[in-house]
Amino acid sequence: MSQTPKTPAKTSVLDRVHLPSDMKTLSDAELKKLAAELRTETISAVSETGGHLGAGLGVVELTVALHAVFDAPRDKIVWDVGHQCYPHKILTGRRDRIRTLRTEGGLSGFTKRSESPYDPFGAGHSSTSISAALGFSMGRELGAETGDAVAVIGDGAMSGGMAFEAMNHAGHLGKRLFVVLNDNEMSIAPPVGALSAYLTRLYAEGPMQDLKAVAKGAVKLLPEPFQEGARRAKDMLKGMAVGGTLFEALGFTYIGPVDGHDLDTLLPLLRTLKARATGPVLIHALTKKGKGYAPAEASPDRGHATARFDVATGAQVKAPSNAPNYTKVFAESLIAQAKRDERIVAVTAAMPDGTGLNLFAKQFPRRCFDVGIAEQHAVTFSAGLAASGMRPFCAIYSTFLQRGYDQIVHDVAIQRLPVRFAIDRAGLVGADGATHAGAFDVGFMSSLPGMVVMAAADEAELVHMVATAAAHDEGPIALRYPRGEGMGVDMPEAGQPLEIGKGRVVAEGARVAILSFGTRLAEVLKAREALAARGLAPTVADARFAKPLDTDLILRLVRDHEALITIEEGAIGGFGSHVQQFLMEQGVFDRGYKFRAMVLPDTFIDHASPAAMYRAAGMNAADIEAKVLDLLNVAVARRA
């Protein structure tokens, strides 16, 4: 039974491990003690920083075994996504910084090449590890100074098509490659440990060329009580091919299932494979997310992502909420629309909780679809639903929607199918950093013919934009909104469809007009207050739409003001670029009109709090104020 670790913890073995090379002198008994101490250290660190706890706890023994057997950094251990990499970071020279995880200037929550030579490949999105590891493997074959390549991929990430594309290629090439399938979802019969130990002995004793035959015939050699567990595990991974699992059909030697928490199984197995493998091998390891920490094991998500928490109780330390969460506002607004229209359905790609669609699913279980980590499929599936006459809302984080862009272009936009894209986590997202920043969706969506692109300035606007999307059947439409709490504005009783392509003036002023797209509007209004104190209060408008543009509003702002500034939470090539193109075509710049576009800088911004990231981006109220003063050539004393 899992026990909550007591503090302060004694870490006599972990204290001796500064790099993986220090593990080579440890006995197997000491490695077991190291794993226990590593689990305690991981829990302690994440309790102070918050982060992805459950995944790391599930791979503690795997991490110890991989680093004890392989020779990183020459051997390349590639962690898929990176959620599970915290124990890896502790063992690879970063223990002294582990309590800076996901904080400004601290360690990344994911693997990151620039952070350590022990992170051979960066990851924030899933299903990439096998492709990358295969690249390392073939680099070795072609003479690169590298050793073995090991991809550690979760069962959820295996639902991403890219993983199977990589396995298909690896099987075709037939070169030495190790893939560890970290399976924390499957539950099979109790004698898994005995089965694992039995198979391990077979592998350790038999010649490597017989390994595939052993794997196929092992079930028949087992005592009857053990056979059912093995069959269930193998059957759950059956492919269409006759006579073997899908992995075997793809050219891999399949080994498993093995107990991913049993070092007595993992160590001899990995040592045997390192000594004898010649081609691609898949090790199917059964693990438990949150393993060894009772509060995580008892949590519905097994402690996937947590705020700071109390180690003794698992209780999370969260700041009190002052305003509704954007994601929840979206979900509740969609539920309200779906109650009135049975054609409304919802689609997400393995993020029902993150997108709020878990709430929708409780109300309408038959009308909500989680397709797994498969954004491409999610988009085209939504297109098919739209073509059938349904009204699909495809809810995907901005950073993940990038993965389905070809399908957005080819399957949705060209056919003008009315798929509603709910783009969560738009803009800079904080602790997850550059891999999860929603910086590019305005540009890549607004460039598509027939696509309507909206951004909510606050939570009330989001309610209206959900209603707008629900009513829009003329083609695809997207609405974007950020992570976190809203502005605390008064909420409407019900959403009302907005007129497509029409913005609104929020505050009348003079000389300069600021046209905001998205939730920077709050910072614009703060800047206006500061400028008003100088007698320079600008006009402020909320564009609402990046496409189609409200050209009447834009021309009015140009006509009545000597300068125009646009601002958006996105990279260059988005809303401001579209406004600039329109004004250029109108000849506005021919007479020397002053125009500036405030966008995210042309760099990837490292993890920090959202406020710090926007400060680094130069997009807070003080920056907006300075931009106005500079544009008007108003000299001001520099702030200390």
Backbone angles phi, psi at 188, to 5 degrees: -120, -175
Catalytic residue chosen out of the listed positions 140, 288, 367, 403: 403
CA 114 – CA 465 distance, rounded (Å): 40
Contact 125, 81 (CB under 8 A): yes
E strand segments, 166-321: 177-183, 253-259, 280-286, 308-309, 316-317
- Residue list for the binding site: 83, 124-126, 155-157, 184, 293, 375
Give yes or no: 425 in active site: no
Backbone angles phi, psi at 438, to 5 degrees: -95, 70
Give yes or no: 289 in active site: yes
Bridge partners, residue 575, by sequence = none
CA 454 – CA 441 distance, rounded (Å): 11
CA 522 to chain centre: 27
Alpha carbon distances (Å) from 10 to 7, 33, 59, 90, 395: 8, 11, 21, 15, 46
Contact 603, 568 (CB under 8 A): no
Q: Tell me the longest C-alpha to C-alpha distance in the chain.
A: 88
Kindly report whether the peptide bond that precedes residue 190 is cis, defined as omega within 30 degrees of 0.
Answer: no
Count CA within 13 A, CB hemisphere, residue 125: 25
Catalytic residue chosen out of the listed positions 76, 234, 288, 289: 289
Contact 126, 92 (CB under 8 A): no
Contact 571, 599 (CB under 8 A): yes
Contact 514, 420 (CB under 8 A): no
Tell me which residue has tokens 């599936």: 381
Give yes or no: 403 in active site: yes
Which of 157, 89, 85, 150 lies closest to 128, judged by CA? 157
- Residue list for the binding site for Mg(2+): 155, 184
Cα dihedral sign, 534-536-539-543: negative
**3-state helix, strand and coil shares in percent for the chain, rounded to the nearest 5:** 45, 15, 40
Tokens at 13, concatenated: 């073995």
| Helix H or strand E encompassing 28 | helix 28-49
Catalytic residue chosen out of the listed positions 332, 375, 461, 625: 375
Active-site annotation, residues: 289, 375, 403
